Amino acid sequence: MTQNRTEKFFKVGVNVECPKVYGNTLSLSSCLKCDFFKTLEKGKVICNFFPEEENKIHPKNKLNELMGNEWLFFTKTVLRTSYPSEYGHTLRKKHYANKPPQLMKHIIEFFTKSEQTVLDPFAGVGGTLIGASLCNRNAVGIEINQEWVEIYSKVCETHGIKKQEMILGDCLEIMERFSDEAKEFDAIITDPPYSPALEKTLCDGKYGWARRHSNFENFSENPKDFRNTTSFDDYYKLMEKAGKLMFQILKPEKYLVIMIRDSYQAKQYIPASFHIATRLEKFFTFKGIKIWHQTGAPVRPYGYPFSFVPNIVHHNILIFKKEKF
């Protein structure tokens, strides 16, 4: 790389994926200063951090296309990220709970191989579908809200992203149809509503909304939207029903990944992740959990100075396997 070109990259603050931290982004200026930096090829960092013999895909690896060091990195139970706002974020942020496509790509790459097909029954504005497009996977999304479907379509058109199949409708009805048709998927990776839209007992506006772009009420007016249940128990029952259908349409020895955030309601912590995992264990083997923390999540002085009230800044990534019986 010439000195002028290097200086140009320094000035514009280009971010690159760093093999040392399995694809998390760093500034190119930091990368160039690293002792393990070798060169750049088509915008990808070539790094000497790992020994050559470790930079190979094991011939018996039937799950994914990761090298040993990449596999090992993913198995860490805590994941902290700081992804740039890309891939139509300006449009997608209207859906407050949208997930970074880079994160979904990271997950998809572990549980699938190229050209395999991922299902997201709660597709929202398409973070999982975009993530699949970024790593040469196919995807099918189901979304009950027309507005989110239209935003996903617009993002793909505006940013030249491969458009995956997005189905408008109730995921329970559509997954039941898939089951009747004996349709199966290589992985199911999804980010459902975390809870029913109950009355707020913390976010009453007292502390402001910080960087929120939505008041995070109902995602839709559709009574079949899981967010519109009237209690956590009803919500868990729907998630169990969805889990049974997901089991039926997932290929044997493949994985279901669900992202859930716990709640705090009426002075009590609600471990939604635990309740959902317990119900889905009726069908799947519960393999583990990853804690995801997006750097920069705002915190507020709940309870100060009288009582402990948690700022829930992490998400639980629940991992299940459909065993071969």
**Would you say the C-alpha torsion 11, 14, 16, 21 has a positive or negative sign?**
positive
Answer yes or no: do 228 and 299 share one domain.
Answer: yes
Confidence at residue 42, expressed as pLDDT on a 0 to 100 scale: 63
Answer yes or no: do 29 and 84 share one domain.
Answer: no
Query: Quick check: 251 and 184 in contact, CB under 8 A?
Result: yes
Answer yes or no: do 29 and 132 share one domain.
Answer: no
Confidence at residue 210, expressed as pLDDT on a 0 to 100 scale: 47
Domain extent at residue 277: 68-321
Answer yes or no: do 287 and 139 share one domain.
Answer: yes
Answer yes or no: do 86 and 37 share one domain.
Answer: no
Residue 58 lies in a domain: no
Q: How many domains does the chain have?
A: 2
Answer yes or no: do 114 and 41 share one domain.
Answer: no
Show Cβ contacts of residue 57 under 8 Å, excluding neighbours closer than 6 positions.
65, 66, 67
Answer yes or no: do 83 and 45 share one domain.
Answer: no
- 90 confidence band (pLDDT: 50, 70, 90): confident
Residue 99's CB is within 10 A of a number of other CB atoms, namely: 23
Which long-range contacts link 2-9 to residues 24+ away (Cβ below 8 Å)? 6/32
Q: Where are the beta strands (DSSP E) in the chain?
A: 15-17, 25-27, 37-41, 44-47, 78-81, 117-120, 138-143, 165-168, 185-190, 250-260, 263-265, 268-270, 285-294, 314-321
- 216 confidence band (pLDDT: 50, 70, 90): very low
Answer yes or no: do 119 and 228 share one domain.
Answer: yes
CB-count burial class (<10 Å; 0-12, 13-18, 19+) for 95:
buried
- Which of 56-60, 63-67, 89-93, 215-219 is predicted least confidently? 215-219
Answer yes or no: do 185 and 290 share one domain.
Answer: yes
Q: What is the pTM of this model?
A: 0.82
Confidence at residue 196, expressed as pLDDT on a 0 to 100 scale: 77
Mean pLDDT of 78-85: 89
- Which of 40-44, 92-96, 114-118, 277-281 is predicted least confidently? 40-44
- Which of 69-73, 116-120, 152-156, 213-217 is predicted least confidently? 213-217
Answer yes or no: do 116 and 38 share one domain.
Answer: no
Answer yes or no: do 118 and 211 share one domain.
Answer: yes
Flag whether pLDDT at 11 surpasses 50.
no
The enclosing domain of 281 has a CATH number of 3.40.50.150
The mean pLDDT value of the chain amounts to 85
